[in-house]
Structures are given as structure tokens and as C-alpha cells.
């Protein structure tokens, strides 16, 4: 982030002297700690504003600066990162938002920027004889291996029949970038996923497991378009399990967001919610809630659709966009970070990853495998209606409920409890939801709608991506895409 000097004359003089020394001595790239990062461009007389300092906004800002734009990032929160946020809990850390990253052949862009900025990644899980995880089914923990090899045959058969049906959905989609090309796409789009699941006539326990899988990945099954799930299944059709959610940032998501900040020259203005965006004769004027104003040649708006209509646009946005912002479905997801003085799950040779079929906690996993200490942090992840029902709960009520559910899964675990942090994104003022999950009829109506600029107003964010909705990768990809669109303006 740019630091403004009060003594301009002295600053210029020092720069001239430093430039002379460099000319005389030359430079040695072998000793450059950020040798992969392109030399920062000379800022030209073209201005860009980015609204939102999440991963999409930070990526767009960085890439626009590489094109020679003078960039100002305006953020409503008092921090950067958006839905990526790292919480310190004693000597350990956990993520209350985006956390897991697919392999480098899948989530290519986020791996690219992590490498570019020298941000370390760490593998998920344990080596050796520790099982990756388990299912919590009908009151008991069943390891993934035991489920496949010895659990109730009817449950196992029907759960894998559900997975096979997802593969058939994927096979039906010709191109995940354009799901409308699927024959009967409109019909698929109008079917909600709960209706589809009901039609499979699964064993009741297998059906519970399938419903929790859908909730955790998207939202409540009844809120989802079957075409959306088919399109997602196509994206992951040929991705191995080993490449899915296989890494995370070693020092937390904050390491990644701070790396962007360190490599962006322009101002990043915090605690300034944008109230109005006005576009007149290819000039943009932004007014914040404190009546501060900023002007630019282009603007990138990255706020989630759930809060887009808090901003007044002049002229108004097309009706389709305002309707999408009001109506498009977002998944409801919450996380509780539960810190324990002992990693009791390891005593059962389990890595902490659990798909929970019969409790509101739909998924658990350990987030501290690569962090020191005898204890660790277990994530309790709740989605869909189970998360939505907590909207009016206090954080302590949410924490107590999750603790009780973990106690059912691991009797005696409460004895090791130290601290907790709850985050329900539907209650967060500048998010009001988890991530986009198209509802029935919405894929055909809104697909790629926000890839199209309105004059000099451009849109980015995970909700504008086609392949990785809900992932940090989708956010980063959208920042790259919008910077390329602006480049094509030829300013």
C-alpha cells in the first residue's frame, strides 16, 4: 500500500540519489526476495476504482496496476479479505471463511498468485496410519474404510448410487461454461435437487448422507437448481479425490490477502461503505457513506449480490441485474472454530474429517494439522436450513450446540474444550450469505449476467465466475477476467 511522504522535495531528492546509485552499480536479481513479481509499472493518467477488498477485488487491483492504472480500493469493512479471514486462538489460527484449495491443476489461479507472492501452502490431512475421516451415521462414527468394507450393505449401495447419479448428471452437460447447451436444460433448471433426491428412492440413512453432501457443497437441496448441480458435477468430473480441497495457506488466508496488499501501490481505503456510483460521459464518481468522493475512468464492483442493491447506481443498473441481486439464491453456511487442548480424534486414528449424516453439524475437519501444540482446532461446518435457523441465535448458543454435537460424536471431548469462535455469514453486514448457489430457474435466467459491463462499470466476485462458484479460486479468476476486459478497452 502506498505510503504518502510529507516532505515531497526530500522524497524526490532521495529517489534521484538512489537512481544514480542503481545506475552505477546495476541490480542483482539473484538476491531479489520477490524475483517472480513483475516490475511495478509507472502509473499513467488513467484511474480505476475497485469496490471491495476481497480476493476478487485485490486481484483486479493488482492486475489493473500492471496495466498502468492508478487504482483505489474502497472497502466497507475495517480489514481486507472479504470472506477470507484468519482468527488467532492462542498460538494457533483458524479460518472463519474460505479455507480449502484444490490441487494446482484445478485451482490454477490461486496457486499462481500464491507462487507469485511467495505465500506458502500446506497439505491437508495426516500421513501414516491416520484415517482421513469418518461418517457419523445413526449414532456412530464409521471410518471411510469401514464404511466401504463392512457397513450396512443397503446404505453403502444407495449412497454410491447417489454418487453415480451425480456422474450421470455430469455426463449430460456438454460444456460446464455453457450449461444451457444441455438438452432439456430449462427442464433441468426448474427441478429442485430435493425433488430429484426424493425420486432416487434411497435408503433413509443414505438419503440423509446425500442431503448433507448437497447442503455442505451448495445449500438446502430444495433451494437448488438441478442444472446447477449438474454443471458443478461436470466441472469436477475428471478431478481425482486427492486434488479436491487438498491444501490451505500455511499461515492462514491472512497471509495471502496481506501479500496482495504488499504488492498493490494504490490506496486501500477501509471502513468506507460505498453508497452511490454515478456514471456520466465515461467518468465514474463514487460517494461513500461518509460523503467522501472518488473519481475514475473505470470501476470494478465486487460486492456480493446480497448487498449490491445497498448501492445506488446512476443511471440505474439494468432490471435483470437488480432483480438478480434481490432474488438469486445464496447458500447459508456457518463455521464454528472449536479449540481443544487435546486432539482426541487422533486417538481413534481419525483425521477429524467427518461427514455428519444425522446432526445439524454437517461436516467437521481439523484445521491445525500443520500447526504445533498438543491440542488443535476442529471446524464444525453447518449449512442450509440448519444454518439459517441459527440466524437469531447468539454466538454462545451456536457454540454450545456445536459442542454438544461433537460430544455425541466423541464422548468426553468437552473435557478438553478451551475456546471457540462462531461465524454465521448470513448475519455479516457486508455479505448476508455464504456464496452463490443457483435456485430453480436461475441458471438459465442469470448465467453470465454479471460478466457483461454496464458502460464503464464492471463486476467481479465468486458469484460472477462460471467454474468455481463459492471457491476462493472463483473470486481470483473473476479478478483476472475483469482486468482483461478492461484491458480490451484500450485506455
Question: What's the gap between Cα 6 and its chain centre?
Answer: 39
The alpha carbon dihedral of 182, 189, 178, 241 has a sign of negative
- Ordered DSSP codes for 28-44: -GGG-TTTTSPPPPPP-
Is there a binding annotation on residue 172? Answer: no
Rounded to whole angstroms, the Cα distance separating 292 from 168 reads: 53
CA distances from 229 to 161, 216, 217, 235, 439 (A): 16, 12, 9, 10, 10
| Beta bridge partners of residue 140, listed in sequence order | 137
Cell of 326: 434481490
The crossing angle, in degrees rounded to 10, of helices 55-66 and 472-487 is: 30
Closest CA to 302 of 419, 430, 415, 183: 430
Three-state secondary structure call for residue 233: helix
Rounded to whole angstroms, the Cα distance separating 328 from 349 reads: 42
What radius of gyration, in Å, describes the C-alpha atoms of the chain? Answer: 24
Cell of 52: 471491495
Inter-residue contact 444 to 227 (CB < 8 Å): yes
Is there a binding annotation on residue 75? Answer: yes
Three-state secondary structure call for residue 430: coil
Closest CA to 355 of 60, 83, 142, 115: 142
CA atoms within 13 Å, Cβ hemisphere of 82? 31
Is there a binding annotation on residue 56? Answer: yes
Rounded to whole angstroms, the Cα distance separating 128 from 112 reads: 30
Rounded to whole angstroms, the Cα distance separating 108 from 61 reads: 19
Rounded to whole angstroms, the Cα distance separating 257 from 254 reads: 5
Cα distance from N-terminal residue to C-terminal residue, the chain: 24
What are the φ and ψ backbone dihedral angles of 200, each rounded to 5 degrees? -75, -15
Within 10 A of 156 (CB to CB), how many other CB atoms are there? 18
Inter-residue contact 264 to 229 (CB < 8 Å): no
Inter-residue contact 83 to 474 (CB < 8 Å): no
Rounded to whole angstroms, the Cα distance separating 13 from 483 reads: 35
Residues at the binding site for FAD are: 56, 75-76, 274
Which residues are known binding-site members?
A: 56, 75-76, 274
Amino acid at each position: 500500500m502506498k505510503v504518502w511522504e510529507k516532505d515531497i522535495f526530500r522524497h524526490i531528492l532521495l529517489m534521484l540519489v538512489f537512481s544514480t546509485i542503481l545506475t552505477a552499480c546495476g541490480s542483482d536479481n539473484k538476491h531479489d526476495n520477490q524475483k517472480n513479481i513483475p516490475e511495478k509499472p509507472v502509473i499513467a493518467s488513467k484511474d480505476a476504482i475497485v469496490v471491495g477488498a476481497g480476493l476478487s477485488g485485490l486481484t483486479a487491483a493488482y492486475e489493473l496496476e500492471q496495466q498502468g492504472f492508478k487504482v483505489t480500493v474502497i472497502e466497507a469493512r475495517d480489514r481486507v479479505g472479504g470472506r477470507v479471514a484468519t482468527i488467532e486462538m492462542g498460538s494457533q489460527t483458524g479460518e472463519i471463511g474460505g479455507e480449502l484449495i484444490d490441487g494446482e491443476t484445478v485451482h490454477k489461479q490461486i496457486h499462481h498468485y500464491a507462487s507469485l507472492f511467495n505465500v506458502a501452502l500446506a497439505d491437508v490431512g495426516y500421513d501414516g496410519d491416520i484415517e482421513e475421516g469418518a461418517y457419523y451415521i445413526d449414532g456412530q462414527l464409521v471410518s471411510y474404510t469401514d464404511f466401504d468394507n463392512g457397513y450396512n450393505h443397503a446404505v453403502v449401495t444407495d449412497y454410491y448410487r447417489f454418487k453415480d447419479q451425480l456422474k450421470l448428471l455430469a455426463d449430460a452437460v456438454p460444456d460446464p461454461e455453457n450449461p444451457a447447451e444441455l438438452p432439456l436444460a430449462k427442464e433441468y433448471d426448474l427441478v429442485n435437487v430435493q425433488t430429484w433426491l426424493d425420486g432416487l428412492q434411497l435408503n433413509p440413512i443414505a438419503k440423509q448422507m446425500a442431503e448433507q453432501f448437497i447442503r455442505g457443497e451448495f445449500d438446502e437441496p430444495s433451494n437448488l437448481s438441478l442444472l446447477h448441480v449438474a454443471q458443478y458435477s461436470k466441472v469436477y468430473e475428471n478431478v481425482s479425490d486427492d486434488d479436491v480441497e487438498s491444501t490451505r495457506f500455511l499461515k492462514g488466508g491472512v497471509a495471502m490477502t496481506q501479500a496482495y496488499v504488499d504488492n498493490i501501490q494504490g490506496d486501500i481505503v477501509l471502513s468506507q461503505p460505498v453508497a452511490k456510483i454515478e456514471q456520466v460521459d465515461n467518468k465514474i464518481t463514487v460517494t461513500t457513506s461518509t460523503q467522501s468522493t472518488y473519481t475514475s475512468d473505470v470501476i470494478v464492483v465486487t460486492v456480493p449480490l446480497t448487498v449490491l442493491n445497498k448501492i445506488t447506481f446512476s443511471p440505474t443498473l439494468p432490471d435483470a441485474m437488480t432483480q438478480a441481486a434481490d432474488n438469486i439464491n445464496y447458500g447459508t453456511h456457518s463455521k464454528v472454530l472449536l479449540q481443544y487442548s487435546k486432539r482426541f480424534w487422533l486417538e481413534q486414528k481419525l483425521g477429524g474429517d467427518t461427514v455428519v449424516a444425522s446432526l445439524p453439524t454437517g461436516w467437521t475437519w481439523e484445521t491445525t494439522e500443520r500447526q504445533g501444540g498438543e491440542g488443535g482446532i476442529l471446524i464444525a461446518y453447518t449449512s442450509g436450513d440448519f444454518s439459517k435457523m441459527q440466524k437469531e441465535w447468539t454466538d454462545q448458543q451456536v457454540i454450545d450446540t456445536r459442542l454438544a454435537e461433537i460430544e455425541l460424536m466423541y464422548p468426553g471431548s468437552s473435557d478438553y474444550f478451551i475456546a471457540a469462535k462462531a461465524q454465521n455469514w448470513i448475519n455479516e453486514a457486508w455479505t448476508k450469505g455464504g456464496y452463490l448457489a443457483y435456485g430453480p430457474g436461475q441458471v438459465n435466467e442469470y448465467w453470465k449476467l454479471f460478466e457483461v459491463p454496464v458502460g464503464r462499470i464492471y463486476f467481479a466476485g465468486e458469484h460472477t465466475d462460471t467454474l468455481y462458484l463459492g471457491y476462493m479460486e472463483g473470486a481470483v479468476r473473476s479478478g483476472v477476467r475483469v482486468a482483461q476486459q478492461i484491458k480490451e478497452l484500450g485506455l
